[in-house]
Amino acid sequence: MAVRHRLIQATPDAVWDVLADGDLYVEWVVGPSEVTPRAGQWPQVGATIAYEVRLGPLRLNNESVVRRCVPGSELELEAKAGRLGTARIAVELRPWGEQCLVIVDEHPLRGPGGLLHNVGVEALIQVRHRAMLARLAKLCESAAGERCRPDPSEATGSVEYRPGTGRA
């Protein structure tokens, strides 16, 4: 099970605004290109978006379905990858002072992807999550404006704020 987290220098509301905008999915998720709404209103339960994933000359038509949504704090998706099966991707937002701790948990759910899941695949998912959370942080921190909340510089143990560096 691949779990990764990152402290984003924006409020949970600012982060949720990005997650709740289906058009921005392609901007923060690693892999998809061009998102097309298929069903429902993102991020309501049952809403579906379709996208293409390109791996060299190979093009895969996939989709993600919202399976659980707690507005402002939790979004759980089932990513469908055709014959490879599906994966559960849970994104949890936790207030961390005036910032947001984002936790991503992904694991195979159905199909052969679960049988092929091993330490090597886990390492690749961790790399993907690192890039995905960096993209999400960049989007949130640049869009947050007044809702961007760096650590106070006079606080003990704080670090200098630079957009996109809020790694956890």
Q: pLDDT tens digits, residue range 54-101?
A: 777 877 788 999 999 999 999 999 988 877 788 899 999 999 998 999
Q: What structural domains and CATH numbers belong to the chain? A: 2-31+69-147 (3.30.530.20)
Whole-angstrom CA distances from 158 to 34, 58, 93, 161 are 39, 45, 21, 9
Q: How many CA atoms lie within 13 A of 14 on its CB side?
A: 23
Q: pLDDT tens digits, residue range 102-133?
A: 999 988 888 776 666 666 666 777 777 788 89
Structure tokens at 55: 């791996």
Q: Across the chain, how many H-helices and E-strands are there?
A: 4, 7
- Helix (H) / strand (E) element for 75: namely strand 74-80
